[in-house]
Each structure stands twice: as structure tokens, then as C-alpha cells.
Amino acid sequence: MLEIRNLHVQIEDKKILNGLTLTVNDGEVAAIMGPNGSGKSTLSYVIAGKEDYEVLDGEILLDGQNLLEMEPDQRAAAGVFLAFQYPLEIPGVATMTFLKAAMNAQRKQRGEDELATPDFMKRVRAAADKLQIGQDMLKRALNVGFSGGEKKRMEILQMALLEPRFCILDETDSGLDIDALKIAADGVNALRGGERSFLVITHYQRLLNYIVPDSVHVMAAGKVVRSGGKELALELEANGYADYRSQAA
Amino acid sequence: MADVTPMRTGAETALVDMFPAVKASLPGTAKVADARKAALERFQAVGLPHRRIEAWHYTDLRGLLREAAPIAPAPDASAIASVQSAGDPLGDIDGIRLTLVDGHLVPTLSALDRLPEGLEVTPLATALAKGHPLVDAHMGSIARAADDPLPALNAAFVSDGVVLRVVEGTALDEPIIVRNVLTGDTPAATFTRILLVVEEGASVTLVENHEAFGGVAHQGNSVVEILVGDRSQVEHVRVNARGGNGFDLSTLGVRLGEAATFRSVALAVSPAVTRHQIGVVFAGEGASLSVGGGALLNGSQHADTTLLVDHAVPHGVSRELFKHVLDGEATGVFQGKIVVRPDAQKTDGRMMSQAVLLDDGAAMNNKPELEIFADDVQCAHGATCGALDEDLLFYLRARGLPLPEAEALMLQAFVGEAMELIAHEGVRTVLEGVVESWLRARM
């Protein structure tokens, strides 16, 4: 279970999150919607541990562990995974090298044995096939020269291989055409189940047709201002965020 | 400038005083002895280079070299045995091995009697003592004693090395590996030299590996001269992983024939001071050059690469890529100059120097220069320096890599780009391993 309590965050003296409180239960898919500038991406970075943000108050607990006291890599090993809105290109680092380094680094932190190469290859191949990621993509430097859709699929591939406990999808739908969106959503849906929970951040209801959430939360001016079931997304799509903008102000 | 005659430093005095003591033991005919004397006089006149000399502005050797180490004694049987039992860092690579121990070629550790067809190897000491047509014709003609104090000192004190001839049309499959090993446990100086003459249409890879036991602060001064014949292909790789806070001063002089291809990559790891100076002359039309290098430094270490590419004739292509990784209070220097002479139309030259500074105390001096006298050319240069990208580091950390591992992965990729210029896969793997061990030691 992920619990965020009264979270206040600023960056360069600008307050972004203002007492955000949110609980995501085991196995739950929670969607966060909200207008631009409401602090959605900040929330995802703060959970993952980006250093640019200053946490003024509040807690983030994953199964009772205080994430705010952990380094980003320790959070990853504890099961936090952030699928980036803009996955970064890393020239000179082959995708396979990166995948192996990441998987083994997490295993090492958890005190598990490193993966043997044949086992690693088998896992990558199986997961890549499902996401229609070809061998040529795996041979290239990570995300370098990939299209927007390829980069997002690569994020889902990493998610599948790292088997996280808590996944954050930061606007995974941005820059995707409808076919690419379906492939990405299928990849996510295949990972649903058990205790694994998701925080799906999006502007648009469209993504939620493919990844159907258990709960929907509306964010405005740095906090959750309304929560509801999946039907809330449809209401937002129809009425827009105008009500919440005024409410936040 | 000329009216300033600084007092000689201790190191300068020691070098000058050392000459009469050792000259009788240095190999060479009377003509060679005269050349040695002239080279020493040349050095005596200018002394060690210092910051008021433009080419040495960022590497004040007079200030950095406090003491001149004595010349390494010729190796005895136990020194040779110690090299034999120590193992070869390039041992996994099939190659034609030539081993210099303490500045002297050791025949028992060299493949002199089992050379492939089309390759002639003469120990330089023998060539100097008995005379050799290639030495007479070329030695000192590219890396000239008159131009710089480093080749001047080398010409005065050179003890040994190899003269290599690759006969016209010969394609050598295996690389020539020249190991340059220092065995002593006190700092010693060596002056070694390689002359490689590659005749028309031949191809060869030459690897120099500079090694030492136990991290002693040795002082190496090496000169390599390469004549790349018309339509021949040469790859040159230089590694110095001696460490031990020694001095590594090296001069590479190359002359390119028509439609010749030459590649050179140098890697320096943790010397106190390294200066690698490279001079390449395009003497034949349509030749192509790529030069790369990497230096990994920490503490107060200092690495200088100084490059002069002289496009004297048309249709030459040159590519340069240098990478510095600087931790602690280390200093990197890159001085690169591309000259395009009036006749050298259609020249295509690109030069890039990049540095990563891992600490606030580290510094990089980049001085790229273009001197273009022809009007139909394409030339570009660039220089970057900065810290590792925070966003990239966060991405890697968010995937579970602890900060030191994330940094190491990025640095490996950064330096790897220059190592990728090496075509020989086995050699490239060895260099990547050297980089990896430095990065691991940092973690």
C-alpha cells in the first residue's frame, strides 16, 4: 500500500504540492487527472526521488517504509518504478547492457543473486516480443533515435522486467498514436494483478479506456480535490477542469 | 623572450649532467653520437618547456618535473624473468610481441626469430650501432629534435626501441604489440623510440603498451615515427596504465602518403603528468586520418594532448575525438590545431574535445585552432566540458543503479566513444577493460 500524507513540496521557492494526501491500495489502479501545472509530474518525481524538489512536510510510505528517506535506487529496489513522460536518451549505453545493469543492481540491493546471461536473455526476449520490440531496438543505444512510441514501449519493457511493486505512469499516452497506445496499455494490463498497484497520470480520459482504473483522483493546485470511481474520468472529459481551477484558486 | 635566460632547474641540470656520464654506454656510430650531442645542445639551449612557451602554456614542465630520474639500468636476468612471470595485460591477443624491459629490447621476450613474411624488425640499438638505411633516411625527420624539447631529449638519450618495416603489399593479420615494461622499484627514466615504415598498399596494427610494476613514479619519454605509405592502412594504439604518478611524455609523428588511412587512439590512466603530442602531415592526396584519445585522472594529475594536423595537399579527411574524465583536482589540456595550406582544397577536418568534470576542483583547458589558407574546405571544431547530466543520472538511479554505478556506466559510454575508433576488436576490449578498472576503483 502506498500512502501519501499531507505532502508539501517546492522547487526553487515555488510551491508545487500543497498538502497532498492519497492512498493507493494493493492491486489498485489509481488515475490522477488534472490541468497543466497542477503538480502531477512533480508528484511522480517526488515519489521516485528526484533531487531537485524540496519536501517541506509530509510523508510517502510504501508498505510502511518511508520513501523520502531513501535514495532513488533504493526506492527502485523497494519496488518503485516511474515510467517517464520523456524517457531519456543515453548515448553509448547499449539497451541490453542497461537492462542487465538495472536488473542486477536491484537484485543486488535486495540480496539476490545476479541473473545468468541465458536467463536474462530469455526474460528480455519474452517481454520484448509481447511489446513488439525487435532485436534491432535492443541492440541500439538506449532510446537513442527511438520514436516517441518506441521510447514508451521501452519504458513498459523495463517495467515488465523489473517487476516493480508500485508503478507510476507519467503521461504514458502523450505522443502515442492509437496503435502504440493499445500496445502500451496491453503491456500494462498484463502486469496488473496481485499486490502490484499503479498510479496512472494523464490529462485525457482516452488512456483510461484502455487501462481501466479502480479510482480516479483530480489534482488541482498541488492537492487532490476530488476522488471517485472510473466514471469521474468521463465527467471530467465532458466538463473539463474549469470547476477545479476556480476551486483551487 | 630571448633576453630572459632563466636559471637551470635541478631537473634540467641533472639531465645535462647525465649526458657525459652515460653517452659512452648509449648505442650508435660516430654519426649517431654527433646527433646525440647536437640534440643535447639543442635541449641545453632551451631547457625544459614552461608556460611562457605558447605550445606549453598549460603544461609547465619546468615547474612540474622537479627531479629528473636516473636512466634505467639495462635489465639483468632477474628483471627479465620478472617480466616473463608477471603476465601480459594483452595476453589474450594473438600478436607479434616485441618487449622492451627498462628501455632495452629483450630478444628472448620478442618474436624476432618468428616474424611473418613481409615484416622486418631491427632492434633500434643494433640499427644505431651498425647503421640502417631506414634510420638514416627517416629517423628524426618527422618528430624533429629542432622543433621541441621532448624529441630532442629522446634523440640525445635514446637507448633502444624497434625499427619496423612492412614490405609493400603486405597485410599483417596480427597486430605488432610493443610492450614497454619498467621493472625497478625506484623511479627511473627511459628514452625509447619506434620507427615504423609501412610501404605502399600494406596494412598493419601497432600497439604500444606502457607497463610498470608496483606503481613506481617512472619517467618515460617515447617517440614514435610512422611513415604511412601510399594506399596503406595503419592503426596505432597507445596505452599507458603504469599509474604510480609517473611522468609519461610522448611524441607521435606521422606522415601520410596518397590515399593512405591512419587511425590512432591513446589512453592514459593516472599518470602524475602526461603529455602526448601528435603531429600528422598529409603529404599525399586523398588520405584519411582519425585520431582519438582518452585520459582518466584524479588527485592532482595532469594530462595534456597536443595535436597538430597539417593538411599540405588536397582531399584530406581528418577526424579527432578526445575525452577527458577529471576527478579531484586533476587538470586536462587539449590543444588541437588543424592547418589547411593554400593548395589543400577539399579538405574535410573535424575536431572535438570533450571533458567531464567530476569535482569542483577539476579543470579543463581546451584550445582548438583552425588555420585555413584554402577557400574550398570544410572544417569544424568543438569543445565541451561539464558535469555528468543530472537528469540522465536520475533516470539510471530510478532504475536501481546506485549513484557510483550510474556514473560509471555513463563515463564508460563517454570514454567508449573514443575507444570505438579502434578497429581491432581484441585491442579495443583491452582498452575498455582498462577504463572499467579505473571506474571500478573509483566506486
DSSP secondary structure, A128-173, as one string:
HHHTT--HHHHHSBTTTT--HHHHHHHHHHHHHHH--SEEEEESTT
What is the reported pLDDT for A246?
Answer: 60
Question: Is-contact B90 B430, C-beta < 8 A?
Answer: yes
pLDDT digits (tens, 9 = 90+) for B111-148: 999 999 999 999 999 999 999 999 999 999 999 988 89
% of residues, chain B, pLDDT over 70? 99
**Cβ contact B398–A90 (<8 Å):** no
What is the reported pLDDT for B3?
Answer: 56
B365 is a domain residue: no
Please state which CATH class domain A2-248 belongs to: alpha beta
Nine-digit cell at B418?
573514443
- Compare CB distances from B397 to A72, A90, A97 and report the shortest one's residue: A72
Q: Is B401 at the interface with chain A, CB within 8 A?
A: yes
What is the reported pLDDT for B35?
Answer: 95
Instruction: Check pLDDT > 70 for residue A90.
Output: yes
B94 is a domain residue: yes
Torsion of CA B36, B40, B45, B51, to 10 degrees: 120
B51 is a domain residue: yes
Strands (E), B158-285: 160-166, 176-182, 189-198, 203-212, 219-228, 233-240, 247-256, 261-269, 273-282
The distance in angstroms from the start CA to the end CA of chain B is: 47
**Cβ contact A72–B394 (<8 Å):** yes
Which residue, among A53, A88, A146, A167, would best test binding to B if mutated, counting the most B CBs under 10 Å from its CB? Answer: A88
Q: Is B396 at the interface with chain A, CB within 8 A?
A: yes
Q: Which long-range contacts (CB under 8 A, 24 or more apart) does B401-404 make?
A: B401/A73, B401/A101, B401/A102, B401/A105, B402/A71, B402/A73, B402/A105, B402/A109, B403/A71, B403/A73, B404/B442, B404/B443
Do B280 and B398 belong together in one domain? no
**Cβ contact A102–B400 (<8 Å):** yes
Instruction: Check pLDDT > 60 for residue A135.
Output: yes
Instruction: Check pLDDT > 80 for residue B434.
Output: yes
Q: What is the mean pLDDT of chain A?
A: 93
Q: Which chain A residue's Cα is nearest to B414?
A: A92
What is the reported pLDDT for B54?
Answer: 93
pLDDT category, B6, cuts 50, 70, 90? Answer: low
B361: Cβ contacts below 8 Å, ≥ 6 apart: B328, B329
**Cβ contact B395–A87 (<8 Å):** yes
Final residue of a structural domain among B284, B309, B332: B284
B115 is a domain residue: yes
Instruction: Check pLDDT > 90 for residue B99.
Output: yes
What is the reported pLDDT for B4?
Answer: 56
B328 is a domain residue: no
| Residue that wins the pLDDT comparison between A132 and B175 | B175
Collapse the DSSP code of B128 into the 3-class scheme (helix H, G, I; strand E, B; otherwise coil) and give the result.
helix
Question: Is-contact B102 B188, C-beta < 8 A?
Answer: yes
- Compare CB distances from A72 to B392, B398, B410 and report the shortest one's residue: B398
Q: Is A158 at the interface with chain B, CB within 8 A?
A: yes
% of residues, chain A, pLDDT over 90? 80
- Compare CB distances from A92 to B397, B403, B413 and report the shortest one's residue: B413
Instruction: Check pLDDT > 80 for residue A236.
Output: yes
How many Cα atoms within 13 Å fall on the side-chain side of residue B315?
A: 9
Instruction: Check pLDDT > 80 for residue A131.
Output: yes
Average pLDDT over residues B146-164: 96
Do B169 and B37 belong together in one domain? yes
Instruction: Check pLDDT > 60 for residue A215.
Output: yes
What is the reported pLDDT for B133?
Answer: 97
pLDDT digits (tens, 9 = 90+) for B403-431: 999 999 999 999 999 999 999 999 999 99
Average pLDDT over residues A129-146: 92
Domain count, chain B: 2
The burial class, CB within 10 Å (0-12 / 13-18 / 19+), for B136 is exposed
Final residue of a structural domain among B247, B269, B284: B284
- Compare CB distances from B399 to A71, A76, A141 and report the shortest one's residue: A76
For residues B158 and B46, give the distance between their C-alpha atoms in angstroms, rounded to a whole number: 19
State how far Cα A97 lies from the chain centre: 22
Q: Is B373 at the interface with chain A, CB within 8 A?
A: no
- H/E segment holding residue B84: helix B77-86
Which of B213, B211, B218, B216 is CA-nearest to residue B183?
B213
What is the reported pLDDT for B151?
Answer: 96
Distance from CA of A4 to the nearest CA of B (A): 19
Which of B429, B424, B350 is CA-nearest to residue B89?
B429
List chain A residues with CB under 8 Å of B403: 71, 73
Q: What is the mean pLDDT of chain B?
A: 95
Q: Could you tell me the residue range of the domain that residue B116 belongs to?
A: 10-284
Final residue of a structural domain among B238, B259, B284: B284
pLDDT category, A122, cuts 50, 70, 90? Answer: very high
% of residues, chain B, pLDDT over 90? 94
Residue B87: count other Cβ atoms within 10 Å of its Cβ. 7
ipTM value, please give it. Answer: 0.96
B338: Cβ contacts below 8 Å, ≥ 6 apart: B309, B311, B318, B349, B351, B369, B370, B371, B372, B379, B381
B374 is a domain residue: no
R_g over Cα of chain B: 21
pLDDT digits (tens, 9 = 90+) for B208-217: 999 998 889 9
What is the reported pLDDT for A249?
Answer: 45
| pTM metric for this prediction | 0.91
B327 is a domain residue: no
Distance from CA of A126 to the nearest CA of B (A): 20
State how far Cα B347 lies from the chain centre: 25
Do B263 and B405 belong together in one domain? no
Q: Is A76 at the interface with chain B, CB within 8 A?
A: yes
- H/E segment holding residue B123: strand B119-123
Question: Is-contact B288 B325, C-beta < 8 A?
Answer: no
Q: Is A72 at the interface with chain B, CB within 8 A?
A: yes
The dihedrals phi and psi of B439, each to the nearest 5 degrees, come to -65, -40
Question: Is-contact B121 B113, C-beta < 8 A?
Answer: no
Cell 612540474 sits at which residue?
B64
Do B264 and B395 belong together in one domain? no
pLDDT category, B270, cuts 50, 70, 90? Answer: confident
**Cβ contact B401–A73 (<8 Å):** yes
Do B277 and B393 belong together in one domain? no
Query: What type of residue sits at position B252?
Result: L
- Compare CB distances from A106 to B394, B400, B412 and report the shortest one's residue: B400
Q: Is B410 at the interface with chain A, CB within 8 A?
A: yes
